[in-house]
């Protein structure tokens, strides 16, 4: 069993951000959003303006200490929108002594939170944030942009064609900085592959990354792996009704080096035991006869 556990995909602060409440009820999430925009307002500033006062907003130190004290050795954190990215980056900068060497950050636009016009409104600020972190704290930038991608299952989202257009434009605007992405892909593996293929003739490094929270067949997994993509394996592997499919996936020689463990954590309290349970289950299924 893996002794040094790495959570390859989680959302460091999402549950705390969206569920945030203050003792002073006049301070709500709208207030927080305005304050965050103010802190990051000047792209020319290397150190965000007002960062020193940020620690007084919310009980953030407790949140960060939980990660620092976790038996999980390392966290790749991913974000869902500009606001999520800006708040998470602030906290990692504020608590450098807790985050250094243990946490990285990927900046993305999750398909669940996308809307028409999101690229014009949010992508320039995400790129500016990436550039600032690259200059000020490059150790905080993770291996991939993200989370971005496609979702055919969840109701109420933009039509798939619009999701694909957002994903293509996001890639085109960001791949020169980093060509790797953490893909959200639900019942859309062939659509993801078709979208990535449109970039095959581009100069420079090929597009890579991780299809996080993989759900699918051996055929789909092999097609993704053939493109050089890694596959994230999370809590779904614990479901008894999926045992036979996971056994086939984990015992396929072509996929032996494709898997990364993840929790996809997005709640207020990180479950320190979950990643270990996933690792144990993976080892069990690999050795099952």
Which domains are assigned to the chain?
Answer: 6-287 (3.20.20.140)
For range 254-281, the mean pLDDT? 94
Q: Which two tokens stand for residue 287?
A: 């050795």
Q: What is the 3-state secondary structure (H, E, C) of the chain?
A: CCCCCEEEEECCCHHHHHCCCCCCCCCCHHHHHHHHHHHCCCCCCCCCCCHHHHCCCCCHHHHHHHHHCCCCCEEEEECCCHHHHHHHHHHHHHCHHHHCCCEEEECCCCHHHCCCCHHHHHHHHHHHHHHHHHHHCHHHECCCEEEEEEECCCCCCCCHHHHHHHHHHHHHHHCCCCCEEEEEEECCHHHHHHHHHCCCCCCCCCCEEEEECCCCCHHHHHHHHHCCCEEEECHHHHCHHHHHHHHHHHHCHHHCCCEEECCCCCCCCCCCCHHHHHHHHHHHHHHCC
For range 111-131, the mean pLDDT? 95
Task: Kindly tell me if the per-residue pLDDT of 73 is higher than 70.
Answer: yes
Q: How far apart are CA 27 and CA 63, in angstroms?
A: 19
Between residues 81 and 25, which one has the greater pLDDT?
Answer: 81
Between residues 140 and 30, which one has the greater pLDDT?
Answer: 140
Mean pLDDT of all residues belonging to the chain? 89
pLDDT more than 70, % of the chain = 88
Q: What is the pTM of this model?
A: 0.91
**What confidence tens digit (pLDDT) does each residue in 141-195 have?**
999 999 999 999 999 999 999 999 999 999 999 999 999 999 999 999 999 999 9
pLDDT at residue 190 in the model? 96
* Least-confidence region, from 34-48, 95-109, 252-266: 34-48
């Amino acid at each position: 069993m893996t002794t040094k556990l790495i959570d390859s995909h989680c959302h460091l602060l999402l549950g705390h951000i969206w569920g945030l409440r203050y003792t002073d009820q006049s301070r709500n999430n709208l207030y927080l959003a305005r304050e965050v925009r103010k802190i990051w307002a000047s792209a020319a500033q290397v150190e965000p303006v007002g960062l020193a006062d940020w620690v007084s907003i919310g009980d953030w130190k407790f949140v960060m200490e939980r990660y620092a004290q976790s038996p999980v050795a390392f966290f790749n954190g991913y974000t869902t929108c500009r606001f999520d990215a800006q708040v998470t980056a602030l906290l990692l900068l504020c608590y450098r002594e807790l985050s250094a060497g243990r946490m990285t950050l990927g900046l993305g636009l999750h398909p669940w939170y996308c809307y028409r016009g999101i690229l014009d409104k949010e992508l320039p600020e995400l790129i500016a944030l990436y550039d600032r972190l690259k200059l000020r704290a490059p150790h905080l930038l993770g291996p991939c942009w993200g989370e971005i991608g496609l979702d055919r299952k969840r109701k109420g989202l933009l039509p798939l064609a619009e999701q694909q257009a957002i994903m293509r434009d996001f890639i085109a605007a960001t791949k020169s900085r980093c060509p790797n992405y953490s893909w959200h892909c639900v019942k859309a593996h062939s659509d993801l592959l078709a979208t990535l293929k449109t970039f095959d003739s581009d100069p420079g490094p090929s597009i890579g990354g991780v299809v996080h929270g993989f759900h699918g067949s051996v055929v789909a997994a092999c097609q993704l792996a053939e493109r050089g993509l890694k596959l994230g394996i999370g809590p779904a592997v614990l479901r008894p009704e999926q045992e036979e499919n996971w056994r086939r996936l984990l015992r396929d020689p072509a996929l032996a080096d494709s898997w990364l463990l993840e929790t996809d954590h997005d709640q207020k309290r990180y479950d320190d035991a979950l990643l270990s349970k996933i690792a144990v289950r993976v080892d069990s299924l690999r050795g099952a006869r």
